[in-house]
Amino acid sequence: MPAYFLRASLLVGASLFWLLAITEVRAEGAIPSPFRFERTLKLGTVNEDVRYLQILLNRDTATKVGGPQQSGGAGKETMLFGPATKRAVITFQNKYAKEILTPAKMRTANGIVGTLTRSKLNALLKATSTPSVNSTEMTTPTVTASTTPIVETIPPRPLLSFDDINTLTRKALVNILCVSKRSGLFEPLSGSGVIIDPRGIILTNAHVGEYLLLKDYGREDFLTCTIRTGEPAQNRYTAKLLYISPQWIAENAKKINEEEASGTGENDFALLLITDTTHPDFEMPAEFPFVPADFSSTSTRVTSSVLAAGYPAGFLGGISIQRDLYPSSSIVQPGRVYSFKGGTEDIFSIGGSVLAQHGASGGPVVNQEGQLIGLIVTASKGAETKDRNLNALTMSHIGASFREHNKDDISSLFAGDVRISATSFAKNVFPALREALVNALLGK
């Protein structure tokens, strides 16, 4: 197998243990009665408070985040504070300007859920959780003893059809193509990714993202990596690394020269930030289509079918990859869940499909709620795609890996201006990781 194909083999080490799938009913439609907003929320924040914020905003038609079929809208609330949520918060602040803007001497709303905005939100929460009583109709309540506990019934999140999921997923799906100035080494490299943030943040594998570290290997602009979309894939955007797991680079840099490199998939993730278009006639969208990812969730709550997608290129040559690469998607059934260290849910099987080819690495696995629950990472060997077994990283593994090695939540990367985070990574982390790969290529 030529060295330029992306690795997609699975090596299951002794530390992997399969876990039983756990069915989990999500509390999607209600806000717990003790809950109060206590943390600042703003564009890029990813946590449970954001979902409760969207639920509360959607109760008022004037401040709703989106329509019933839109991400963040009623019944489709997410943990991501995106542009639509910011607009809804601005509307909320303007509606209650006397209580939020005037005391803060603010002329315009900023869409940030600060102290005064939280105070008003909490007041509304208290009002909705405490039933009003007309003093002229007060009566002594009748109390009936019962041994049956009172359980709040919470409606589940509505499920989407696979046609809708396929449409949403393909809009956010990207092909990452890296081509060098001379033929031979790295000619060409093709992988998949998925946009997970409306600002153009792409989640992919580290074994795909590592090639962005080699942009100037040996000479300036030696390796050009382009973000492509569409059917067939067409050059559309440029991107730079926002984050790549240093732990994965440290453990796998020497494998870059291997024709069929293998690995468990642990820490195998990277984040890219779309920076510009590839042609001056193209325009950067105000918001990119995206699939929301909940990094605190676990994939094992999914026991029904899910959709996997990618740009498989295993049966195409170099020219065909550049001209005739089409996306593929498949409805698959999640199988066994494995742990890298024991006791955690890190990677799960999705069986064999057309996606079990080189190039599909980094593709998304999306549940019927329209949420990203896995990232295609490894595949076992087999003569045909149906004989191979694809595996996907859980979002919880990615979130836990980032938190373990950076002592901070992955939502910190999404907070504020992500361009600043990308610049900081390029300055403080990029050089050492690039050096590790270059040394590996030079045999040091």
- Give first-to-last CA distance, the chain, whole Å: 24
Q: CA-CA distances (angstroms) from residue 366 to 6, 274, 309?
A: 22, 22, 9
pLDDT value at 67 more than 70: yes
pLDDT value at 152 more than 50: no
Residues 96 and 204 in one domain: no
Instruction: Give the residues across from 202 on adjacent strands.
Output: 195, 272
137 inside domain: no
Residues 56 and 13 in one domain: no
298, two tokens: 């676990």
418, two tokens: 């992500």
Q: For 76-121, what is each residue's pLDDT tens digit?
A: 888 888 888 999 999 999 999 999 999 888 889 999 999 999 999 9
Residues contacting residue 410 through CB under 8 Å, at least 6 positions apart: 46, 295, 398, 399, 402, 403
142, two tokens: 């009748």
CB hemisphere CA count around 212 (13 angstroms): 28
Residues 284 and 183 in one domain: yes
Tell me the Ramachandran region of residue 407: left when phi exceeds 0, alpha when psi lies from -120 to 50, beta otherwise: left
Residues 222 and 275 in one domain: yes
Mean pLDDT score, 305-320: 79
- Of 107, 128, 149, which one is at a domain's C-terminal end? 128
Q: What is the DSSP letter of 297?
A: S
371 inside domain: yes
User: Is-cis flag, bond preceding 232, omega within 30?
Assistant: yes
CB atoms within 10 A of CB 104: 15
Q: Sorting pLDDT into bands at 50, 70 and 90, what band is 13?
A: very low
Query: What pLDDT, on the 0 to 100 scale, is given for residue 235?
Result: 93
* Kind and range of the H or E run holding 193: strand 189-197
204, two tokens: 């992919």
Query: What pLDDT, on the 0 to 100 scale, is given for residue 323?
Result: 75
152 inside domain: no
41 inside domain: no
Q: CA-CA distances (angstroms) from residue 317 to 157, 325, 359, 369?
A: 43, 10, 12, 36
Q: Is the pTM of this model over 0.85?
A: no
Q: Which residue has the tokens 């193209």?
A: 282
184 inside domain: yes
Angstrom distance (rounded) from CA 281 to CA 443: 43
Query: What pLDDT, on the 0 to 100 scale, is given for residue 187?
Result: 60
Residues 189 and 322 in one domain: yes
Residues 293 and 342 in one domain: yes
Residues 14 and 68 in one domain: no
* Kind and range of the H or E run holding 436: helix 430-441
Give the residue from 383, 377, 28, 27 showing the smallest Cα distance to 207. Answer: 377
Residues 220 and 264 in one domain: yes
Q: Which residue has the tokens 């409805």?
A: 331
- Of 88, 108, 128, which one is at a domain's C-terminal end? 128
Residues 234 and 107 in one domain: no
φ and ψ of 374, to 5 deg: -160, 160
4 inside domain: no
Burial class of 120 by CB neighbour count within 10 A (0 to 12, 13 to 18, 19+)? middle
Q: For 15-32, what is each residue's pLDDT tens digit?
A: 222 222 222 223 345 888
Mean pLDDT score, 244-273: 84
Query: What pLDDT, on the 0 to 100 scale, is given for residue 62?
Result: 92
The CA dihedral of 292, 296, 301, 303, to the nearest 10 degrees, is 50
40 inside domain: no
Residues 14 and 52 in one domain: no
What's at 361, amino acid-wise? S
Q: Sorting pLDDT into bands at 50, 70 and 90, what band is 3?
A: very low
> How many structural domains compose the chain?
2
426, two tokens: 């390029």
User: Is-cis flag, bond preceding 431, omega within 30?
Assistant: no
The domain in which residue 353 lies consists of 9-19+158-441
Q: Sorting pLDDT into bands at 50, 70 and 90, what band is 295?
A: confident
148 inside domain: no
CB atoms within 10 A of CB 177: 23
Residues 111 and 236 in one domain: no
Residues 104 and 170 in one domain: no
* Kind and range of the H or E run holding 176: strand 173-180
CATH number, domain containing residue 425: 2.40.10.120
Average pLDDT for the chain? 79
